Chain A
Protein backbone atom coordinates (compact mmCIF):
# COMPACT_ATOMS: atom_id res chain seq x y z
CA UNK A 1 0.00 0.00 0.00
CA UNK A 2 1.05 3.62 -0.38
CA UNK A 3 0.46 6.17 2.30
CA UNK A 4 -1.95 9.07 2.01
CA UNK A 5 0.43 11.68 3.42
CA UNK A 6 0.54 14.77 1.25
CA UNK A 7 4.04 15.52 -0.11
CA UNK A 8 5.21 18.96 0.96
CA UNK A 9 2.13 19.60 3.11
CA UNK A 10 4.18 19.95 6.31
CA UNK A 11 7.51 21.66 6.98
CA UNK A 12 10.16 21.76 9.65
CA UNK A 13 10.23 25.42 10.68
CA UNK A 14 12.46 25.40 13.75
CA UNK A 15 15.53 23.32 14.59
CA UNK A 16 18.10 23.46 17.38
CA UNK A 17 20.51 21.47 19.49
CA UNK A 18 20.81 21.80 23.24
CA UNK A 19 24.16 21.96 24.96
CA UNK A 20 26.24 19.07 23.55
CA UNK A 21 29.19 17.09 24.80
CA UNK A 22 29.44 16.83 28.56
CA UNK A 23 26.82 18.41 30.81
CA UNK A 24 27.02 19.45 34.44
CA UNK A 25 26.25 16.92 37.13
CA UNK A 26 22.50 16.62 37.70
CA UNK A 27 21.49 17.64 34.18
CA UNK A 28 18.55 15.51 33.03
CA UNK A 29 17.39 14.46 29.55
CA UNK A 30 14.41 16.79 30.09
CA UNK A 31 16.70 19.78 30.78
CA UNK A 32 18.29 19.14 27.39
CA UNK A 33 14.94 18.63 25.62
CA UNK A 34 13.60 21.83 27.17
CA UNK A 35 16.69 23.86 26.23
CA UNK A 36 16.57 22.60 22.64
CA UNK A 37 12.82 23.29 22.50
CA UNK A 38 13.27 26.92 23.58
CA UNK A 39 16.05 27.36 21.03
CA UNK A 40 13.95 25.75 18.25
CA UNK A 41 11.00 28.01 19.14
CA UNK A 42 13.28 31.07 19.02
CA UNK A 43 14.56 29.80 15.66
CA UNK A 44 11.08 29.95 14.10
CA UNK A 45 9.41 32.67 16.18
CA UNK A 46 6.72 30.43 17.68
CA UNK A 47 5.98 30.18 21.42
CA UNK A 48 5.53 27.37 23.89
CA UNK A 49 1.75 27.96 23.92
CA UNK A 50 1.64 27.26 20.16
CA UNK A 51 2.81 23.65 20.61
CA UNK A 52 -0.16 21.28 20.52
CA UNK A 53 1.60 18.09 19.41
CA UNK A 54 4.47 16.45 21.34
CA UNK A 55 6.68 13.63 20.02
CA UNK A 56 9.56 12.33 22.14
CA UNK A 57 11.82 9.37 22.75
CA UNK A 58 14.75 8.72 25.04
CA UNK A 59 16.28 5.54 26.43
CA UNK A 60 16.42 7.17 29.87
CA UNK A 61 12.67 7.51 30.42
CA UNK A 62 9.88 5.12 29.53
CA UNK A 63 7.22 7.84 29.46
CA UNK A 64 9.14 10.70 27.96
CA UNK A 65 6.18 12.62 26.49
CA UNK A 66 4.67 12.69 30.01
CA UNK A 67 7.96 13.85 31.45
CA UNK A 68 8.51 16.62 28.92
CA UNK A 69 4.89 17.83 29.10
CA UNK A 70 5.15 18.09 32.88
CA UNK A 71 8.49 19.89 32.64
CA UNK A 72 7.29 22.43 30.06
CA UNK A 73 3.69 22.63 31.29
CA UNK A 74 2.31 21.46 27.94
CA UNK A 75 -1.19 20.06 27.39
CA UNK A 76 -0.93 18.72 23.84
CA UNK A 77 -3.92 17.56 21.78
CA UNK A 78 -1.71 14.84 20.38
CA UNK A 79 1.35 13.02 21.72
CA UNK A 80 3.50 10.09 20.67
CA UNK A 81 6.29 8.19 22.47
CA UNK A 82 7.32 5.94 19.60
CA UNK A 83 10.64 4.34 20.55
CA UNK A 84 12.53 2.25 18.01
CA UNK A 85 16.06 3.46 18.71
CA UNK A 86 17.90 6.12 16.75
CA UNK A 87 15.39 6.07 13.88
CA UNK A 88 12.53 7.08 16.21
CA UNK A 89 12.70 10.74 15.20
CA UNK A 90 12.26 10.08 11.49
CA UNK A 91 9.24 8.02 12.49
CA UNK A 92 8.05 10.98 14.58
CA UNK A 93 8.29 13.20 11.49
CA UNK A 94 6.00 10.79 9.60
CA UNK A 95 3.61 10.61 12.56
CA UNK A 96 3.62 14.39 13.06
CA UNK A 97 2.89 14.84 9.36
CA UNK A 98 -0.05 12.44 9.63
CA UNK A 99 -1.32 14.26 12.72
CA UNK A 100 -1.04 17.70 11.09
CA UNK A 101 -2.60 16.45 7.82
CA UNK A 102 -5.54 15.10 9.80
CA UNK A 103 -6.09 18.08 12.06
CA UNK A 104 -4.93 16.30 15.23
CA UNK A 105 -2.42 19.05 15.94
CA UNK A 106 -1.14 22.20 14.31
CA UNK A 107 2.35 22.77 15.72
CA UNK A 108 4.33 19.62 16.51
CA UNK A 109 7.44 19.44 18.69
CA UNK A 110 9.88 16.54 18.30
CA UNK A 111 12.40 16.50 21.14
CA UNK A 112 15.24 14.35 22.39
CA UNK A 113 17.73 14.46 25.24
CA UNK A 114 20.37 12.16 26.67
CA UNK A 115 22.99 12.40 29.40
CA UNK A 116 24.68 9.14 28.48
CA UNK A 117 28.18 10.55 28.80
CA UNK A 118 27.54 11.96 32.29
CA UNK A 119 25.71 8.91 33.64
CA UNK A 120 27.51 6.24 31.49
CA UNK A 121 26.20 4.39 28.48
CA UNK A 122 25.37 1.32 30.57
CA UNK A 123 23.15 3.40 32.86
CA UNK A 124 21.55 5.40 30.03
CA UNK A 125 20.62 2.44 27.85
CA UNK A 126 20.74 -0.89 29.71
CA UNK A 127 20.67 -3.88 27.37
CA UNK A 128 17.65 -6.14 27.34
CA UNK A 129 18.14 -9.85 28.01
CA UNK A 130 17.91 -12.11 24.97
CA UNK A 131 17.95 -15.81 25.88
CA UNK A 132 19.59 -16.73 22.56
CA UNK A 133 22.26 -14.01 22.47
CA UNK A 134 23.08 -12.64 25.94
CA UNK A 135 24.72 -15.88 27.24
CA UNK A 136 27.41 -15.57 24.53
CA UNK A 137 28.30 -12.03 25.72
CA UNK A 138 28.26 -10.11 22.44
CA UNK A 139 29.48 -6.55 23.13
CA UNK A 140 26.37 -4.80 21.89
CA UNK A 141 25.68 -2.89 19.81
CA UNK A 142 29.28 -2.91 18.52
CA UNK A 143 29.62 -6.68 17.96
CA UNK A 144 26.49 -6.73 15.81
CA UNK A 145 27.83 -4.04 13.49
CA UNK A 146 31.24 -5.74 13.57
CA UNK A 147 29.71 -8.94 12.20
CA UNK A 148 27.94 -6.89 9.52
CA UNK A 149 31.28 -5.32 8.58
CA UNK A 150 33.03 -8.72 8.56
CA UNK A 151 30.34 -10.16 6.30
CA UNK A 152 30.46 -7.13 3.96
CA UNK A 153 34.24 -7.51 3.68
CA UNK A 154 33.85 -11.24 2.95
CA UNK A 155 31.11 -10.84 0.35
CA UNK A 156 32.24 -7.69 -1.44
CA UNK A 157 35.93 -7.32 -0.70
CA UNK A 158 35.35 -4.12 1.29
CA UNK A 159 38.63 -3.25 2.99
CA UNK A 160 39.71 -2.11 6.43
CA UNK A 161 41.03 1.10 4.82
CA UNK A 162 37.64 1.81 3.21
CA UNK A 163 35.92 1.55 6.60
CA UNK A 164 38.52 3.97 7.98
CA UNK A 165 37.81 6.41 5.12
CA UNK A 166 34.32 6.92 6.57
CA UNK A 167 35.71 7.97 9.95
CA UNK A 168 38.32 10.23 8.35
CA UNK A 169 35.71 11.94 6.13
CA UNK A 170 33.43 12.49 9.13
CA UNK A 171 36.33 14.05 11.00
CA UNK A 172 37.11 16.41 8.12
CA UNK A 173 33.52 17.64 8.13
CA UNK A 174 33.56 17.91 11.95
CA UNK A 175 36.54 20.25 11.82
CA UNK A 176 34.24 22.72 10.01
CA UNK A 177 31.49 22.42 12.65
CA UNK A 178 32.18 24.65 15.69
CA UNK A 179 29.98 22.52 18.00
CA UNK A 180 31.52 19.17 16.99
CA UNK A 181 33.07 17.19 19.85
CA UNK A 182 36.24 16.16 17.97
CA UNK A 183 38.66 19.01 17.19
CA UNK A 184 41.76 17.27 15.78
CA UNK A 185 42.43 15.73 12.35
CA UNK A 186 42.34 11.93 11.99
CA UNK A 187 44.20 9.65 9.57
CA UNK A 188 43.37 6.24 8.10
CA UNK A 189 46.33 4.72 9.95
CA UNK A 190 45.12 6.14 13.24
CA UNK A 191 41.69 4.58 12.74
CA UNK A 192 43.11 1.17 11.83
CA UNK A 193 45.73 1.15 14.60
CA UNK A 194 43.53 2.39 17.43
CA UNK A 195 42.23 0.00 20.08
CA UNK A 196 40.31 -2.98 18.68
CA UNK A 197 36.86 -3.26 20.24
CA UNK A 198 35.07 -5.98 18.29
CA UNK A 199 36.96 -7.04 15.17
CA UNK A 200 37.15 -5.69 12.53
CA UNK A 201 35.99 -2.47 14.25
CA UNK A 202 38.36 -0.32 16.31
CA UNK A 203 37.30 2.42 18.71
CA UNK A 204 37.59 4.95 15.84
CA UNK A 205 35.02 2.99 13.81
CA UNK A 206 32.54 3.57 16.64
CA UNK A 207 30.38 6.61 17.29
CA UNK A 208 31.08 8.99 20.14
CA UNK A 209 29.43 8.77 23.52
CA UNK A 210 28.25 12.29 24.39
CA UNK A 211 25.44 14.10 26.14
CA UNK A 212 23.08 16.17 24.05
CA UNK A 213 19.57 16.99 22.99
CA UNK A 214 17.71 18.43 20.07
CA UNK A 215 14.32 19.71 18.99
CA UNK A 216 12.50 20.46 15.77
CA UNK A 217 9.16 22.21 15.24
CA UNK A 218 6.81 21.23 12.41
CA UNK A 219 3.67 22.87 11.11
CA UNK A 220 1.57 23.00 7.95
CA UNK A 221 3.16 24.39 4.79
CA UNK A 222 0.56 27.18 4.82
CA UNK A 223 1.56 28.35 8.29
CA UNK A 224 5.28 27.74 7.65
CA UNK A 225 5.41 30.46 4.99
CA UNK A 226 4.80 33.22 7.56
CA UNK A 227 7.50 32.15 10.03
CA UNK A 228 11.02 33.48 10.53
CA UNK A 229 13.14 31.08 8.50
CA UNK A 230 12.93 29.27 5.18
CA UNK A 231 10.80 26.11 5.68
CA UNK A 232 12.26 22.64 5.09
CA UNK A 233 9.34 20.82 3.48
CA UNK A 234 8.75 17.15 4.23
CA UNK A 235 8.63 15.54 0.79
CA UNK A 236 8.92 11.87 1.61
CA UNK A 237 8.97 9.44 4.53
CA UNK A 238 9.52 5.68 4.74
CA UNK A 239 10.10 3.15 7.51
CA UNK A 240 11.11 -0.48 7.85
CA UNK A 241 11.42 -2.79 10.84
CA UNK A 242 13.38 -5.96 10.14
CA UNK A 243 14.48 -7.61 13.41
CA UNK A 244 15.49 -6.83 16.98
CA UNK A 245 18.49 -9.10 17.65
CA UNK A 246 21.30 -9.31 15.10
CA UNK A 247 20.79 -13.10 14.85
CA UNK A 248 17.31 -12.29 13.45
CA UNK A 249 18.56 -9.99 10.67
CA UNK A 250 17.66 -11.71 7.39
CA UNK A 251 20.87 -10.79 5.54
CA UNK A 252 23.63 -8.84 7.29
CA UNK A 253 24.68 -6.93 4.18
CA UNK A 254 21.22 -5.59 3.28
CA UNK A 255 19.53 -3.24 5.74
CA UNK A 256 15.93 -2.11 5.94
CA UNK A 257 17.09 1.14 4.30
CA UNK A 258 16.59 -0.77 1.05
CA UNK A 259 12.87 -0.69 1.94
CA UNK A 260 12.50 2.65 3.76
CA UNK A 261 14.49 4.54 1.12
CA UNK A 262 12.38 3.53 -1.91
CA UNK A 263 9.20 4.32 0.07
CA UNK A 264 10.50 7.83 0.81
CA UNK A 265 11.75 8.37 -2.77
CA UNK A 266 8.39 7.24 -4.19
CA UNK A 267 6.49 9.69 -2.00
CA UNK A 268 8.91 12.52 -2.80
CA UNK A 269 8.92 11.67 -6.51
CA UNK A 270 12.72 11.79 -6.69
CA UNK A 271 15.68 9.42 -7.05
CA UNK A 272 18.98 9.21 -5.19
CA UNK A 273 20.70 11.04 -8.07
CA UNK A 274 18.83 14.25 -7.22
CA UNK A 275 19.81 14.29 -3.53
CA UNK A 276 22.21 17.16 -2.67
CA UNK A 277 22.97 16.05 0.90
CA UNK A 278 22.86 12.60 2.49
CA UNK A 279 22.72 12.50 6.28
CA UNK A 280 23.22 8.81 7.09
CA UNK A 281 23.15 7.50 10.64
CA UNK A 282 26.82 6.60 11.22
CA UNK A 283 26.79 4.74 14.51
CA UNK A 284 29.71 2.75 13.04
CA UNK A 285 31.77 3.19 9.88
CA UNK A 286 30.07 0.24 8.16
CA UNK A 287 26.70 2.05 8.43
CA UNK A 288 27.62 4.77 5.98
CA UNK A 289 28.81 2.21 3.42
CA UNK A 290 25.70 0.06 3.85
CA UNK A 291 23.27 2.99 3.64
CA UNK A 292 24.96 4.48 0.56
CA UNK A 293 24.24 1.14 -1.14
CA UNK A 294 20.77 0.51 0.27
CA UNK A 295 19.58 4.05 -0.46
CA UNK A 296 20.72 3.80 -4.08
CA UNK A 297 23.73 6.14 -4.10
CA UNK A 298 25.84 3.26 -5.45
CA UNK A 299 25.22 -0.39 -6.39
CA UNK A 300 25.22 -3.12 -3.71
CA UNK A 301 28.77 -4.02 -2.77
CA UNK A 302 30.23 -0.78 -4.16
CA UNK A 303 29.96 1.23 -0.93
CA UNK A 304 33.62 0.68 -0.07
CA UNK A 305 34.76 2.02 -3.44
CA UNK A 306 32.32 4.93 -3.15
CA UNK A 307 33.89 6.17 0.10
CA UNK A 308 37.50 5.47 -0.99
CA UNK A 309 39.83 8.38 -1.78
CA UNK A 310 37.74 10.90 0.12
CA UNK A 311 34.51 9.99 -1.72
CA UNK A 312 32.31 11.30 1.10
CA UNK A 313 34.80 13.79 2.55
CA UNK A 314 34.56 17.52 1.73
CA UNK A 315 35.07 17.80 -2.04
CA UNK A 316 34.01 14.16 -2.67
CA UNK A 317 31.25 12.71 -4.93
CA UNK A 318 28.47 13.43 -2.45
CA UNK A 319 28.25 15.53 0.72
CA UNK A 320 27.57 13.00 3.51
CA UNK A 321 27.22 13.76 7.22
CA UNK A 322 28.38 17.35 6.93
CA UNK A 323 27.95 17.99 10.68
CA UNK A 324 30.74 15.47 11.36
CA UNK A 325 28.32 12.63 12.07
CA UNK A 326 27.88 10.40 15.06
CA UNK A 327 31.54 9.52 14.58
CA UNK A 328 32.95 13.02 15.20
CA UNK A 329 30.20 15.59 15.99
CA UNK A 330 28.01 14.09 18.69
CA UNK A 331 26.23 10.88 19.47
CA UNK A 332 24.05 11.04 22.56
CA UNK A 333 22.62 7.51 22.42
CA UNK A 334 19.91 7.95 19.80
CA UNK A 335 21.24 10.32 17.17
CA UNK A 336 18.49 10.48 14.52
CA UNK A 337 17.16 13.95 15.36
CA UNK A 338 20.58 15.54 14.74
CA UNK A 339 20.51 14.32 11.13
CA UNK A 340 17.25 16.22 10.63
CA UNK A 341 18.64 19.36 12.31
CA UNK A 342 21.69 19.45 9.99
CA UNK A 343 19.48 18.80 6.95
CA UNK A 344 17.28 21.79 7.83
CA UNK A 345 20.32 24.04 8.29
CA UNK A 346 21.87 22.96 4.99
CA UNK A 347 18.59 23.57 3.13
CA UNK A 348 18.46 27.06 4.65
CA UNK A 349 22.09 27.77 3.78
CA UNK A 350 23.15 28.34 7.41
CA UNK A 351 26.18 26.06 7.53
CA UNK A 352 29.04 28.49 6.92
CA UNK A 353 32.30 26.84 5.97
CA UNK A 354 30.70 23.40 5.50
CA UNK A 355 27.67 24.69 3.55
CA UNK A 356 26.71 22.48 0.58
CA UNK A 357 26.26 24.83 -2.43
CA UNK A 358 22.69 25.00 -3.81
CA UNK A 359 21.39 22.45 -1.32
CA UNK A 360 17.75 21.87 -2.28
CA UNK A 361 17.11 18.21 -1.47
CA UNK A 362 18.36 16.54 1.70
CA UNK A 363 17.92 12.95 2.78
CA UNK A 364 18.09 12.13 6.50
CA UNK A 365 18.30 8.43 7.24
CA UNK A 366 17.82 7.09 10.76
CA UNK A 367 18.91 3.73 12.11
CA UNK A 368 17.92 2.07 15.37
CA UNK A 369 19.05 -0.89 17.45
CA UNK A 370 21.39 -3.21 15.55
CA UNK A 371 20.29 -2.09 12.06
CA UNK A 372 16.86 -3.09 13.37
CA UNK A 373 14.71 -0.07 12.52
CA UNK A 374 15.31 2.12 9.49
CA UNK A 375 13.50 5.33 8.64
CA UNK A 376 14.15 7.81 5.84
CA UNK A 377 12.97 11.41 5.57
CA UNK A 378 13.43 13.53 2.44
CA UNK A 379 13.34 17.29 2.93
CA UNK A 380 13.26 19.98 0.30
CA UNK A 381 13.63 23.74 0.12
CA UNK A 382 10.55 23.81 -2.18
CA UNK A 383 7.30 22.18 -1.12
CA UNK A 384 5.68 21.89 -4.51
Chain B
Protein backbone atom coordinates (compact mmCIF):
# COMPACT_ATOMS: atom_id res chain seq x y z
CA UNK B 1 0.00 0.00 0.00
CA UNK B 2 3.03 2.27 -0.11
CA UNK B 3 1.50 4.03 -3.06
CA UNK B 4 -0.67 5.79 -0.54
CA UNK B 5 2.40 7.80 0.36
CA UNK B 6 2.34 9.29 -3.10
CA UNK B 7 -1.38 10.01 -2.98
CA UNK B 8 -1.19 11.57 0.48
CA UNK B 9 1.93 13.41 -0.54
CA UNK B 10 0.20 14.81 -3.59
CA UNK B 11 -3.03 15.55 -1.77
CA UNK B 12 -1.22 17.17 1.13
CA UNK B 13 0.79 19.33 -1.24
CA UNK B 14 -2.39 20.51 -2.89
CA UNK B 15 -3.94 21.09 0.52
CA UNK B 16 -0.95 23.05 1.77
CA UNK B 17 -0.91 24.99 -1.47
CA UNK B 18 -4.49 25.98 -0.82
CA UNK B 19 -3.71 26.76 2.79
CA UNK B 20 -1.07 29.20 1.63
CA UNK B 21 -3.51 30.66 -0.85
CA UNK B 22 -6.06 30.91 1.94
CA UNK B 23 -3.70 32.72 4.28
CA UNK B 24 -2.70 35.03 1.48
CA UNK B 25 -6.31 35.82 0.66
CA UNK B 26 -7.03 36.70 4.27
CA UNK B 27 -3.83 38.69 4.64
CA UNK B 28 -4.34 40.66 1.47
CA UNK B 29 -7.79 41.59 2.65
CA UNK B 30 -9.64 39.53 0.07
CA UNK B 31 -12.33 38.84 2.65
CA UNK B 32 -12.50 42.21 4.36
CA UNK B 33 -15.65 42.78 2.38
CA UNK B 34 -17.87 39.77 2.03
CA UNK B 35 -20.83 41.42 0.39
CA UNK B 36 -19.99 44.10 -2.15
CA UNK B 37 -18.22 41.78 -4.62
CA UNK B 38 -21.41 39.77 -5.04
CA UNK B 39 -23.20 42.93 -6.10
CA UNK B 40 -20.30 44.26 -8.12
CA UNK B 41 -20.38 41.41 -10.61
CA UNK B 42 -23.88 42.51 -11.58
CA UNK B 43 -22.82 46.07 -12.30
CA UNK B 44 -20.27 45.45 -15.02
CA UNK B 45 -22.65 45.82 -17.93
CA UNK B 46 -24.72 48.54 -19.48
CA UNK B 47 -28.20 48.10 -18.12
CA UNK B 48 -30.02 49.72 -21.02
CA UNK B 49 -28.63 47.05 -23.29
CA UNK B 50 -29.41 44.39 -20.81
CA UNK B 51 -32.98 45.49 -20.61
CA UNK B 52 -33.36 44.67 -24.28
CA UNK B 53 -31.21 41.60 -24.56
CA UNK B 54 -31.65 39.86 -21.26
CA UNK B 55 -35.09 38.34 -21.44
CA UNK B 56 -34.60 37.07 -17.93
CA UNK B 57 -35.01 40.55 -16.52
CA UNK B 58 -38.29 41.81 -15.21
The reply to whether chain A is a binding partner of chain B is no
Binding site for A on B (CB under 8 A): none
Binding site for B on A (CB under 8 A): none
